[in-house]
Amino acid sequence: MAITTRGFSGRRRLTDGRLPPGQYVTTDFPVLSAGPTPRVPLDQWELTINEGDEVLRRWDWKSFRDLPAETVTVDLHCVTRWSKLGTVWEGVSLDTLLKDIKTDAEYVLAHSYGGYSTNLPLGDLMNNQAWVAFRFDDDDLAPEHGGPARLLVPHLYLWKSAKWLRGISLLHEDEPGFWEDYGYHNYGDPWREQRYSGDE
Amino acid sequence: MWRSATVVALHDETATARTLRFEVPDWPGHTAGQRVDVRLTASDGYSAVRSYSIASAPSTNKLVEISVERLPDGEVSPYLAQEIALGDRLELRGPVGGWFVWRPTQTEPVQLIAGGSGIVPLMSMIRSRVSASSAAPFRLLYSVREPRTVFYREELHALSAEQSIELTFAYTRATPRDWPRPPGRIDADLIASTTWPSALRPTCYICGPTSFVENAASLLTASGISPDRVRTERFGPTGDRR
């Protein structure tokens, strides 16, 4: 039973069911990162998919941008409790990037320029649920928001959408990433409020 | 797990910010730099939660302090910064976060860079250094709009006077009289003249609004500090295109 705080009434907002529990709507786009923003020149950028020592796919910027891209409109939910509704991105679907890869792996570790990483079940990247995004709101993706390209997995808390994406490792055993190692939830479903390790 | 907390002390830091001390009987302890989730619940069950940096040093006395800047359009901060009174109760969850932390086992030089209310978690680190009698050399570069917006002013001046920390203020809008540096944001000259040189391999903690942190982190890395020595915590809007 929650304690009632004297004199607090709050400000109710209509959210028409789009807002997961414990979130509030912001029209801003806050930035949360653990360190300095990496600056990755496009002529040095690459994206790889590997399994163990084997590099299964490799794109430079041009070959990546030659892939078919999609425009998607999604809601973002950050574990620090802000949500941003109806954001518009352009990116390449992970279904496109993972096409024809044969693997028994069930997990992935996404890793970034600058050293960040985050883990997800491979299934969460498939079936039109995840993109590698390079444009936001009709503009090239700014470095502080993860440019040149970031992972976008909007059905999980935003820390799973790794900024400055550099590669995706296919794993047979799950392996915690950066925030997962520092006490955040391993899966991070906003609708089940899986913020911290220990949340069900 | 939500823990019951009672306000046992409060005082104004500035015209728009207030420090609150909570007694939390089952507080598990924290590490300097960590945050706490604060939950306020209205009489009809509606609740709102926000995350705040902890200002107090780790201790065993079951007390937790936060300093809250009132945001003009805020739902929670105006209540905490203006209305809450001694004896009022709310709930806390935490501590949260394990990256933006300083532990007394660290012996290397520490560079703290604060923008505005970004001083709060850095103050916890400074207080932790004092309470642990650590000999780690600390420098603080603290950027504020003007002198009257400084948090923890007397405590910082006392710690500087007794040489617990090396303290540099930077003012962005208005300076004290006869201040040598004109108002302006932190630049490469100030970084070069007041922060630890990269050869000492300091661990750097930067906290403040996003544009402040972006600027300070870029200047540090441009001065030769390795990006993996720089830990950041950002809050607020991007300050640029959104």
Within 8 A of B97 by CB-CB distance, chain A residues are 182-183
Give the distance from residue A127's alpha carbon to the nearest chain B alpha carbon, in angstroms. Answer: 30
The pLDDT score that the predictor gives to residue B240 is 31
Chain A, chain B: beta-carbon pairs less than 8 Å apart: 115
Q: Indicate the pLDDT class of residue B124, thresholds 50, 70 and 90.
A: very high
From chain B, pick out residues whose CB is under 8 angstroms from the CB of A114. Answer: 227
For A51-97, what is each residue's pLDDT tens digit? 999 999 999 999 999 999 999 999 999 998 889 999 999 999 999 99
Q: Predicted confidence band at A14 (pLDDT cuts at 50, 70, 90)? A: low
Q: Do A5 and B97 touch (CB under 8 A)?
A: no
Residue A193, CA distances (Å) to A22, A190, B53 in order? 8, 5, 21
CB-nearest partner of A30 from B220, B231, B237? B237
pLDDT tens track for B230-241:
999 987 543 332
Q: What is the DSSP string of chain B?
A: --EEEEEEEEEESSSSEEEEEEE-TT-----BT-EEEEEEE-TTS-EEEEEEEB-SPP-SS-EEEEEEEPPTT-SSHHIIIII--TT-EEEEEEEE-SSS-B-TT--S-EEEEEEGGGHHHHHHHHHHHHHTT----EEEEEEESSGGG-SSHHHHHHHHHTTSSEEEEEESS---TT-SSPS----HHHHHHHS--GGG--EEEEEEEHHHHHHHHHHHHHTT--GGGEEEEEES--SS--
User: What is the model's pLDDT at position B236?
Assistant: 58
pLDDT at A200: 83
Query: Which chain A residues are closer than 8 Å to B242 by Cβ?
Result: 28-29, 137
Q: What's the farthest any 2 CA atoms get from each other in chain A?
A: 61
Candidates B43, B51, B218; nearest CB to A36? B218
Give residue B146's pLDDT: 96
Q: Which residues of A touch B111 (CB under 8 A)?
A: none
In a mutational test of the B interface, the residue from A1, A4, A5, A40 whose CB has the highest number of chain B CBs within 10 Å is A5
Question: For residue B203, what is the nearest residue in chain A, using CA coordinates?
Answer: A35
* A8, A14, A117, A182: best to mutate for the B interface, most B CBs within 10 A: A8
Distance to chain A for B178, nearest Cα, Å: 34
